Structure 1
């Protein structure tokens, strides 16, 4: 044990911030070039994010039609809706190993295959059992996409664009949810299922024209393929020698460490990155987002505000603010946006808590609808600008490539478990105390702010190798 610890300490001392001085300046000069291939590759990848959103947004507008056509009870439809999350948890567990074994592109192909199969099964369903099987399959694909898309985009992007490009993952998710809600009110539920095949078709076609992640290729020892992929992404005329050397040196250093297993993630050298990655997922999900998101119409109705109008405003605001967050993440930084987002989440919960406190105690009832609307809009706007996207961005940045599969799968599993727990308990909490529910969420979001201040580093403007060396040394 002593010999092993000495070897590991020696290796960690060699993990350094590479390319300092004149070499770093040359790399910065090269990184100012933004070849179109990076944008095209990102577009193809985030089609998986859009598919994620179609899975999440499908059940809400189709509930009445599916129940009527197939004669489902409320309990049977509830199972259909919630089984998506269980599929996503299975997908989260397996996403890291699949992405490590078959590559990022291979994982996206596997995920697409499950989604295509699931949608076709849903389209041809004549009863609850095949409907649930199809939903479980799409959930599995969604769980894999939730991990592999932000990781792939982070690994291909230049450092000064990494935040904005990775945030497109969340933007495409919320856009797809909103579009599904709108067209789901005018299209039959079977036809809506077929439209959900479109993003997977675009993704599968696009995968033939984009390179694999250079960092994954380097980890697999495929030096020529790694350099070729990096050259394609940076442009034919770009000098990739310094960036390639930085990546290769870091991969070589990591390979000298013992092979990681699940228990290794909790050893000292990885403990900080694992704590940050899992902690941010807890902050994202346990602050109430899925309860509020899934039951927005019910919240508006209880507060006396039009559910239809409120939901439309909610969807539009979510898309716009997520886009604003994507535009500013590489300028303002991850941590300031997270703190701004957390503060807004607390404020939104307080507004909603006050609204329901007034309603329960029959005080100032005329103000209840406006306060509830304000609270929900402040909440979702704040979530969209930071807490929605940035935990995925940071997760894709902080884990070294040798543990990224296992650590990323664990963080994604925690995220989906939190999503299920929050959505499952929301109605029970509201029956217990409507204003108490929002006070509880406000307290959790306040703790999230404290966690961000204490534990989360700023990651903008650094290469993945520089960042991971600093955190995991």
Structure 2
């Protein structure tokens, strides 16, 4: 590569700050430890995300009773989270580009903590809604900046697995909120929501900033120091540093991208991939299935408490397993498998309602509903849940990452709201017809992945972006 040759021609003086002894087993362990620690700190934000999502379900009756809320007032409290997340999505890219990935996580943690405190002290609907809006804003920022930060610090052989932990921690946050919320008061559960934010705030003081962001800011010394902390003090970082610097210098010659610039020819492929995956992730029916799991089981005649527990356990297990082999199997094959399984799950769910309503074989409805939900959530956890966020963090060039990431995140949250809002209307129109529509969307998702989405396994971020730009 040209970048490597430039480093070699620079002589000993230019090589001195970058080169060191041959990497040893000890330095490799140091490398992994700092990357793992930085990832752990970042995914505390993902856990906070899940805790916010899972908070409203187990606390509904207690909050309505204690604060004397009507059903409409509680519905506003629950749904205003999405509004806050949309606002967070609009601003997250600019915040992360201006004050850094760590700075954006700092802001998000602070806003989330204030939101939880507002909920904790609330005696009326106003403070509850303000707190819920604030936590929504925080998770809107987290949903973008956490996978981007992890992708920018991780070695290419670990990037997929570490970024997938983002989704695993979201799932864990939701599940723990469900369980803990059954025996803890809603005010104390709000205080528990501050814990991951506090851990993240403390951890930010000991982990490095994203070296790619530092390079983009022209902070050469800080960039090299960050990269060396992440790769080990005895590691040879010259090739990676040269590639990052070369990419940054190329991007600096381009004008800073605004929202309308995303639709220029040079960026269209990466934007289409990132936004398209977010659209298919949401409109494939995930929020309809996850938010209304209990009512789906009840309507099909299966015990809702048993089904919900099985759902939560399976989601955590499959998401954890997916994180272990995403860098071996690749993003694209897992997305195809996931989309195909989502299609099958929708067919089974649609069939369960059809046989019950038509009277053809009503006794088969509960088994079809259970198998449909399990296949659906297992398939979503394998790929479509985490991989769109992994790919979003990989495919956007640095100069448009803020604007494009904000746009993709906004599309995701808007789709989340639209899917959850329309689900009950669709079910009142036709129960089995609703799942046939979701099945059709998932077929289109598989076609989209096969035709449009590139494989990014084993490539550096710079190689991925160069390949997409030239396609």
Normalised to the residue count of structure 1, the TM-score between the two structures is 0.94
Q: C-alpha deviations, 1:331-378, integer Å up to 9, x for none?
A: 000000000000000000000000000111122111100100100010
1:438 aligns with 2:432: no
1:309 aligns with 2:318: no
Alpha-carbon offset, residue 239 of structure 1 = 1.0
One of 149, 163, 176 as aligned partner of 1:152: 149
Aligned length: 453
Alpha-carbon offset, residue 176 of structure 1 = 0.7
Matched ranges for 1:59-74 at <5 A: 59-74=56-71
Q: Secondary structure at the match of 1:417?
A: helix
Match of 1:8 in 2: none
Structure-2 separation of matches of 1:387 and 1:253: 32
> Residues 214 and 229 of structure 1 are in contact (CA less than 8 Å); yes or no, is this contact kept in structure 2?
yes
Normalised to the residue count of structure 2, the TM-score between the two structures is 0.94
Q: C-alpha deviations, 1:226-262, integer Å up to 9, x for none?
A: 0000000111111111111110011001111122222
Alpha-carbon offset, residue 129 of structure 1 = 1.1
Match of 1:426 in 2: 423
1:117 aligns with 2:101: no
Match of 1:376 in 2: 373
Please identify, of 362-371 and 31-40, the stretch whose mean Cα deviation from structure 2 is larger: 31-40
One of 87, 100, 106 as aligned partner of 2:103: 106
Match of 2:411 in 1: 414
Q: Secondary structure at the match of 1:35?
A: helix
Structure-1 separation of matches of 2:68 and 2:201: 35
Matched ranges for 1:14-53 at <5 A: 33=28, 34-53=31-50
Matched ranges for 1:253-264 at <5 A: 253-264=250-261
Structure-2 separation of matches of 1:59 and 1:218: 41
Q: Secondary structure at the match of 1:457?
A: coil
Alpha-carbon offset, residue 31 of structure 1 = 11
Match of 1:242 in 2: 239
One of 324, 329, 335 as aligned partner of 1:338: 335
1:449 aligns with 2:440: no
Matched ranges for 1:86-97 at <5 A: 86-97=83-94
Match of 1:225 in 2: 222
1:276 aligns with 2:273: yes
Structure 2 unpaired stretches of 5+: 9-18
Structure-1 separation of matches of 2:2 and 2:304: 52
Match of 1:140 in 2: 137
Alpha-carbon offset, residue 18 of structure 1 = 6.4
1:321 aligns with 2:318: yes
Structure-1 separation of matches of 2:169 and 2:83: 22
Q: Secondary structure at the match of 2:398?
A: coil
Alpha-carbon offset, residue 399 of structure 1 = 0.2
Q: Secondary structure at the match of 2:274?
A: helix
> Residues 17 and 466 of structure 1 are in contact (CA less than 8 Å); yes or no, is this contact kept in structure 2?
no
Q: Secondary structure at the match of 2:182?
A: coil
Structure 1 unpaired stretches of 5+: 1-15
Q: C-alpha deviations, 1:243-291, integer Å up to 9, x for none?
A: 1111001100111112222221111110000000000000100000011
> Residues 17 and 465 of structure 1 are in contact (CA less than 8 Å); yes or no, is this contact kept in structure 2?
no
